[in-house]
Amino acid sequence: MKHERRKPFPNDFLWGGSTSAYQVEGAWNEDGKGPSVIDMAKYPEGTTDFKVASDHYHRYKEDIALFAEMGFKVYRFSIAWTRIYPNGDGEVNRKGIEFYDQLINEIRKHGIEPIVTIYHFDLPYALQEKGGWSNRATIDAYENYCKTLFEHFGDRVKYWLTINEQNMMILHGEAIGTVDPNLKNPKKELYQQNHHMFVAQAKAMALCHRMLPDAKIGPAPNIVTIYPASSKPKDVLAANNYAAIRNWLYLDMAVYGRYNNIAWAYLEEKGYTPTILEGDMEILQNAKPDFIAFNYYTSQTVAASEGNEEDVKQTGDQHITVGEPGVYKGASNPHLKRNEFGWEIDPVGFRTTLREIYDRYHLPLIVTENGLGAIDQLEEGDVINDTYRIEFLRNHIEQMQLAISDGVEVFGFCPWSAIDLVSTHQGISKRYGFIYVNRDEFDLKDLRRIRKQSFYWYKQVISSNGANLD
């Protein structure tokens, strides 16, 4: 639909940026922090680990000042569970509480609203050793961790996100580094873990509403529109299957507290249905999110699979579809360009995604990740001409405004990432930030912060409330 007149962004629109603890903080074993599954994972050859990352733990004041200079209204970051509970549960680590106290105070001092992701991929390793999300005790540990966060930070944090990209941990956990390599029947086990995460999330939402009546909480999956590779009815059906398994399984559960019927039929067909204990469905149905947060980088395209095992491609990347025999297989979209890492670039798909989510759930939406990973060049005189990133974000913001003009309620946009950080599996060379961090894959250099061209551009986008995207 063409709009002759676009609706402006709401006056109180929350412009900001995102990071996650393990990708930005560093200080991986300082001040009592315990190891997480990410600290213990193997990293692809040639890519750095997360031990120092962007050293935000020691430089957060400088970083927050730069975010304030850009005009951020909100800053979305995650709390490292292992700083608060080094063993996942048990005794609280005071130093961990202190760090986030200071971080939150610093953010607020600059007039920025914090948005906290409770759990962003970095499950405590001590819990993983006891079975991780396969063990129902992890649900209790998560609930207890949430209670601690609400108690300590609830007076200053209004927006909470339960779990980052639960769907990517289930579908692409190997790429991200969250899957226990010792699982005997991985898919079946993963869907059991998925169920436990659903229950944990529901408990967190209910607890938040009980403890912090003025706060708002929601899920943060990665949701994208799914195209059929052609108009062949079987391809359309495959897209419908994949949308249910990848997207709606997660949001139907978060919002309505029920398993999506197509996704459930798939689990039954494959023998992956989880064990559901008495009382679980009640917990799931009694919890409601206040909003939906979601991450969007690219759309996906799939075709019909006749059941051939070769339709499964071990891609090792969360945005390149793996495939499932007899259900769907990954396909490429000939109408889209790709970034340097093979991810298709699809701003119009972003508008469609916003429409689809709102149409299904009618809850306010916030975009908690969107951005372009690229290999930036630091030029003479501390210049980074990341015009490709500006173009990517401009095109997506334009489509977001069109979605708003379509009547979709969007209240915030937090691109990935506020500052350069280490990618999930492609090192620090794959950069996303508005601020360059001067280090290489294995040479930490001076880690100094340098404003990229996109920094100045985004500052102007925010100060004009999205009216000036040039």
| Residues forming the site for ligand BG6 (CB under 6 A) | 20, 23, 164-165, 168, 222, 295, 318, 369, 373, 416, 423-426, 430
Single out the catalytic residue among 143, 165, 189, 324: 165
Which contacts (CB < 8 Å, 24+ apart) does range 259-265 have? none
| Helices (H) then strands (E): counts for the chain | 16, 13
**CB-CB contact of 75 with 170 (8 Å):** no
Give me the least distance between CB of 419 and ligand BG6, in Å please.
12
Q: Is 25 a catalytic residue?
A: no
Give me the least distance between CB of 23 and ligand BG6, in Å please.
6
Q: Which three-class secondary structure string do you get for 371-388? A: CCCECCCCECCCECCCHH
Distance CA(37)–CA(180), nearest Å, equals 8
DSSP string, 56-82: HHHHHHHHHHHHHHHT-SEEEEE--HH
What is the dihedral angle through the alpha carbons of 353, 359, 360, 363, rounded to the nearest 10 degrees? 90
Give me the least distance between CB of 8 and ligand BG6, in Å please.
29
**374 phi and psi, to 5 degrees?**
-150, 160
Looking up tokens 């004009």 gives: 464
Residue number, 227 or 432, with CB nearest to ligand BG6: 432
In the structure encoding, which two tokens stand for residue 415, read together?
């691109």
**CB-CB contact of 216 with 159 (8 Å):** yes
Q: What angle do CA 432, 23, 15 make, to 5 degrees?
A: 50
DSSP secondary structure code for residue 450 in this structure: E
Give the closest residue to 176 by CA, choosing from 186, 187, 165: 165
The alpha carbons of the chain give a radius of gyration, in whole angstroms, of: 21
Looking up tokens 């986008």 gives: 461
In the structure encoding, which two tokens stand for residue 167, read together?
């769907």
Distance CA(105)–CA(118), nearest Å, equals 17
**CB-CB contact of 284 with 198 (8 Å):** yes
Q: SS3 of 122, please?
A: coil
In the structure encoding, which two tokens stand for residue 456, read together?
């100045």
DSSP secondary structure code for residue 189 in this structure: H
Q: Is 344 a catalytic residue?
A: no
In sequence order, what are the residues at sequence separation of 6 or more whose Cβ sits closer than 8 angstroms to the Cβ of residue 28? 22, 35, 39, 50, 51, 52, 53
Give the closest residue to 76 by CA, choosing from 345, 370, 430: 370
Residue number, 212 or 224, with CB nearest to ligand BG6: 224
Q: Which pairing describes strands 292-295 and 300-303: parallel, antiparallel, or unpaired?
A: unpaired
Task: Cite the active site residues.
Answer: 165, 369
